[in-house]
Structure 1
Amino acid sequence: MKQSIMLLLLLTAIHGPWSMAHGQKPNIGGQRSAVGGPTATKPQNAKPNIVLIMTDDQGYGDFGFTGNPHVKTPHIDQLAARSTRLTNYHNSPVCAPTRASLLTGRYHQRTGVHDTYNGGAIMASEEVTLAEILSKNGYQTGIVGKWHLGDNYPFRPSDQGFQYSLVHGGGGVGQPGDFYENFIRTDSSYFNTTLYENDRKVQRQGYCSDVFTDQALTFLKQKRASPFFLYVSYNAPHTPLQLPKKYEDMYKDLAFDTETDRQEGKAWAKMTDKDKADARKVYGMATNIDDNVGRILAELKSQGLEENTIVIFLTDNGNQQLRFNTGFRGLKGSAWEGGTRVPFLISGAGLFEPNKEVNALLAHIDVVPTLLQAVKIPLPANIKTDGRAALKTIQGKLAPAPRKFYNSWNRGWPEPYRNAAFYQDNYKLVASNADGDDLNTFGLFDLDKDPFEQNNLVQSQPALAKQLKKGLDSVFNDISNSPNLTPRRIIVGSEHEPVSILTRQDLNGTNMGAWLADKATGYWNITIAQDGYYNLRSIHTGTIAKGTRSLIRLGHIQRSALAKGEDNAVAINRIWLKKGDYVVESWFEGQGGVTGPYYVELTADR
């Protein structure tokens, strides 16, 4: 009872006297507090540290402070109470695009990232990240968790400014872009996970979120004497929904029978039994994350770093599965608000007012210029961001300027009207499988009056809709001609990466809807760094039947070998390759027809 009263007081302090649990409209815009300076102070002549914490597929409604009646997130709720909360902040609809924009301040298409796999989640090495800028200005930089912007040289965290890294492979633990050892453990890959530590393969014991937090605490202890940037990028609560029994048991009897769960007209009122089972696990994973965030915050305090550390907490996109999300339309992957609007908390270093809400339109492309402004490091002259420095707006010292923002994502290469949105101040145009020749197939919404995107204004305000469509077309035409929006090539045979593993994460082709299946085939784009002999292994998940022919094609060079029926890989050694660009294909021909490998390993024979 005492805990319930304390949580109620906390939520009231954050949101004011309203309750989503009783079906009232969420305080999306919030009330801006009077402009006043934060009370905390920072040591003189000390640059602020930065801790950026991001979770994966955790939606706007997956927290106590946003009104969820079920999930237990007390540490993040307390962080929210002492943070400035951006209530109109947007990421991309999916993982890799968000990460590219967050670290560069540029629309993700400009960085070369246009998808979550299928060769579309490799950020151009020419891009300059926040980590690179900070490291050149005296910061120690580290990442733990999810990278999802390229697993091979020259696209790894270590190639993009992070001096320390402990990350999983691909876009998710246990996916075919991750380590083979994780992928084959379909029911336990989140435990005792194989990871990359500074580009070397390691295995860490324990649950993945706990492991990443342990390493984050070690980083804080080791780097406390220097200004640091720590990027804690949890892969949870992304699927597969695996979690420790302690946290699963917390929600195993959750019945979803509150007034909020039955709220008429809300999508979550129609949750299936599968949706509810998934939500119970997601909530358990969210509570585990909350405990780990609490550990990080406690370590900052114990190390005396709390007052001079900017702490940011956010999620990467909307929730993947159907559950409470305060009422926003759509899920992860969509350009509707439910796919892109996420919580954003920022505090610390005497720069941000506690318990304040800011409803200015802000986005991931603003984070780099804003943080650089906060730590008083100029943006390098050769870098052009799509975002803007918003520190004074967040502090309440400058009224929000007129704003336009573009957001989109679709499988494969960019398309203009498949899944895109264009914002102009409080108005938003949505193109969801729209016909570019028929304005009536678009959606136009006034988000100040209609944050849940229920009232389409296209027919009542066609001139405004046409104006916003013109803006959408202009940005799309600009970014679709970006020089980095071309296939990225993994460099093989470099001293920086002695063994190159090509995974299905970066496999290209039109058959990638089946990327989890044996039948998936495609190609990789690579560059051979130097002339020489190369050894190749095509790797399957199980023993390859005797007599199955394994084939490798590199440009016009094709070789094959027969499986002996004793292993899950077939090696083809000492193929002479000249320096240059190649398209790599690998497949098996056997009694079951043509199938594809899950991994291809290339090593220079030196």
Structure 2
Amino acid sequence: MSSQAEDGKPTKPNVILIISDDHGFADYSFMGHEVIKTPHIDKMAAESLLYTRGYVMPVCSPSLASLLTGKMPSAHGITGNDLSDKRSPKGNRQILANRLLDNSLMLPKAISEAGYLTFQTGKIWNVTYDDVGFTHGMTDTAGRHGDAGLAIGRKGMKPIYDFIETAQAEEKPFFIWHAPLMPHDPHTPPKKIFTKYKGKGPTPAAEKYFAMVEWFDNTCAELDDYLAKNDLKENTVILYLADNGWDANLGYKGTRSKLSPYENGIRTPMFVRWPGKVEPQRDDKALAHIIDFPTTILDITGARNPGDLKGLNLMDQEALKARDSIHVEAYTHDIADLKDPSKSLIAEVVIEGWWKLIVPGPVKPDRMFSGVPSAPELFNLKDDPWEKNDVAKANPEIVARLKATLYAP
């Protein structure tokens, strides 16, 4: 079936998935940060159905694999960034790629098969763009992060614009996976932006990170301006999340952000903007989850859903409000055994309403900055959003109930 209306414009909406990298959940103006300026993402969020309580995995490769497959790490098999056996790095990348590709869904492949031109930028672990079914892309060699794709944003946005022009020339709807290495280190912001933050952060390193966030925000502005100037904004759905968190104050010396099950490691705002289709609203209560994104995108594009996905459609706010709980899995940086995720499991998380339980796993972290508790910890996030007061001992019945809902060993 043609995706064209009589005037030649696609009847199917275009879709852009924006994934920022190592980005603390509070590090946006619209999330209340007093120093970092993100006016352009703020504007996108204000035009969107925004969930401020979104949750992801605490490190990038498992999170991105969840976006590609619609599944949790224990199901899709990519629990860490690398295999613990490093005798053959190239061979290990292929082993990881094979495990990823063994899943029932490869999101870009499904969207391509639905008649879209699809484009990969930025981070995508272990595979090339072609391996997972993109029609176009920047990463044409399989490595740790994304090789050539990592130039996006830091070296301009032109590859995205060139791809959109290709899709327009072919009169096809487009899907773009935009996962820049931003604000992820190396923190090398332009001097013009960095100067604005000098003396305004707890450390010089934090100030560079603050500037990286604003630089990322500027690239979002460039992309949105391009859509508006080319009459594409109304028929383009923007979805946004970060792949995992970051601790601006402590960086890799902290123990409660990247690779940890604490809020600053796994929480991120998530939003969907679809002008005229999705009513803008800020939801500070409902629980959104990374596995909701593939379900949502498949519904938007009309691509085939394999039928085994547990994610909800983010546009169905009532369904998210009715959700009882969500789970997060935290693993060692390196994968001990592809066939047995429990051998890398450092913690599991269940969040039910405002209660959050962290249960330590059977193994210890393999990175100094990956902090996990020694015993189950319970937090009331409504009163204690930064998890300063463990109330597990005072609420054993809540701990027992939440612990019973965990599905991984």
Contact 2:270 2:288 (C-alpha < 8 Å) held by counterparts: no
Partner of 2:193: 247
Partner of 2:331: 409
Distance change in 2, residues 1:404/1:68 (3 Å): closer
Name the CA distance, whole Å, in 1 between partners of 2:200 and 2:383.
Answer: 33
Aligned amino acid, residue 73 of structure 1: T
1:124 aligns with 2:100: yes
1:400 aligns with 2:346: no
Contact 1:373 1:389 (C-alpha < 8 Å) held by counterparts: yes
Alpha-carbon offset, residue 455 of structure 1:
3.1
Distance change in 2, residues 1:398/1:465 (3 Å): closer
Partner of 2:114: 137
Contact 1:84 1:358 (C-alpha < 8 Å) held by counterparts: no
Partner of 1:73: 38
Alpha-carbon offset, residue 95 of structure 1:
0.5
1:426-505 map, 5 Å: 426-432=354-360, 441-472=375-406, 475-477=407-409
Name the CA distance, whole Å, in 2 between partners of 1:399 and 1:236.
Answer: 31
Of 59, 74, 80, the match for 1:94? 59
Distance change in 2, residues 1:69/1:111 (3 Å): same
Deviations 1:236-263 (A, max 9, x none): 2212222333333333x3244xxxxxxx
Distance change in 2, residues 1:129/1:212 (3 Å): farther
TM-score (norm 1): 0.56
Of 213, 230, 233, the match for 1:286? 213
Q: Which has the larger radius of gyration?
A: 1
Aligned amino acid, residue 254 of structure 1: G
Name the CA distance, whole Å, in 1 between partners of 2:374 and 2:319.
Answer: 40
Distance change in 2, residues 1:345/1:235 (3 Å): same
Deviations 1:80-136 (A, max 9, x none): 221221111101001001101112110023222111123586452122222111111
Aligned-pair Cα RMSD in Å? 3.1
Aligned amino acid, residue 277 of structure 1: P
- Where 2:408 maps in the other structure, the secondary structure is helix
Name the CA distance, whole Å, in 2 between partners of 1:171 and 1:337.
Answer: 26
1:55-66 map, 5 Å: 55-66=20-31
1:82 aligns with 2:47: yes
Of 212, 230, 233, the match for 1:303? 230
- Where 1:87 maps in the other structure, the secondary structure is strand
Contact 2:57 2:244 (C-alpha < 8 Å) held by counterparts: yes
Alpha-carbon offset, residue 278 of structure 1:
1.3
Contact 1:440 1:459 (C-alpha < 8 Å) held by counterparts: no
Aligned amino acid, residue 401 of structure 1: R
Name the CA distance, whole Å, in 1 between partners of 2:76 and 2:128.
Answer: 14
Name the CA distance, whole Å, in 1 between partners of 2:185 and 2:24.
Answer: 14
Of 364, 374, 379, the match for 2:290? 364
- Where 1:211 maps in the other structure, the secondary structure is coil
Partner of 2:369: none
1:109 aligns with 2:74: yes
Partner of 1:514: none
Name the CA distance, whole Å, in 2 between partners of 1:459 and 1:397.
Answer: 33
Of 412, 422, 426, the match for 2:350? 422
Partner of 2:315: 391
Partner of 1:164: 136
Partner of 1:223: 167
Partner of 1:319: 246
Comparing 310-319 and 208-217, the one that deviates more: 208-217
Distance change in 2, residues 1:343/1:323 (3 Å): farther
Aligned amino acid, residue 392 of structure 1: D
Distance change in 2, residues 1:440/1:116 (3 Å): closer
- Where 2:130 maps in the other structure, the secondary structure is helix
TM-score (norm 2): 0.81
- Where 2:101 maps in the other structure, the secondary structure is coil
Of 262, 266, 288, the match for 1:336? 262
Partner of 1:46: 11
Deviations 1:471-513 (A, max 9, x none): 32xx223xxxxxxxxxxxxxxxxxxxxxxxxxxxxxxxxxxxx
Contact 1:221 1:303 (C-alpha < 8 Å) held by counterparts: no
Alpha-carbon offset, residue 442 of structure 1:
0.6
Name the CA distance, whole Å, in 1 between partners of 2:311 and 2:319.
Answer: 19
How many pairs were matched up? 371
Distance change in 2, residues 1:129/1:87 (3 Å): same
- Where 1:239 maps in the other structure, the secondary structure is coil
Deviations 1:148-187 (A, max 9, x none): 2x1xxxx4221111111113863448xxxx5xxxxxxxxx
Name the CA distance, whole Å, in 1 between partners of 2:134 and 2:302.
Answer: 20
Distance change in 2, residues 1:70/1:390 (3 Å): closer
Distance change in 2, residues 1:335/1:317 (3 Å): same
Name the CA distance, whole Å, in 1 between partners of 2:24 and 2:390.
Answer: 24
Partner of 2:158: 214
Aligned amino acid, residue 385 of structure 2: P
Comparing 222-231 and 450-459, the one that deviates more: 450-459
- Where 1:418 maps in the other structure, the secondary structure is strand
Name the CA distance, whole Å, in 2 between partners of 1:106 and 1:112.
Answer: 9
Q: Which runs of 5 or more residues in structure 2 are unaligned?
A: 1-7, 84-91, 365-372
Identity %: 27
Name the CA distance, whole Å, in 1 between partners of 2:218 and 2:131.
Answer: 31
Contact 2:35 2:200 (C-alpha < 8 Å) held by counterparts: no
Contact 2:327 2:348 (C-alpha < 8 Å) held by counterparts: no
Name the CA distance, whole Å, in 1 between partners of 2:231 and 2:363.
Answer: 57
Partner of 1:353: 279
Contact 1:60 1:341 (C-alpha < 8 Å) held by counterparts: yes
Distance change in 2, residues 1:214/1:368 (3 Å): same
Aligned amino acid, residue 402 of structure 2: L
Deviations 1:218-245 (A, max 9, x none): 1122213321110111112212222333
Name the CA distance, whole Å, in 2 between partners of 1:57 and 1:321.
Answer: 10
Q: Which has the higher contact order (CA 8 A, sep 6+)?
A: 2
Distance change in 2, residues 1:406/1:254 (3 Å): same
Name the CA distance, whole Å, in 2 between partners of 1:359 and 1:255.
Answer: 31
Comparing 278-287 and 227-236, the one that deviates more: 278-287
Distance change in 2, residues 1:159/1:435 (3 Å): closer
- Where 1:405 maps in the other structure, the secondary structure is strand
Name the CA distance, whole Å, in 2 between partners of 1:301 and 1:323.
Answer: 38
Aligned amino acid, residue 347 of structure 1: R
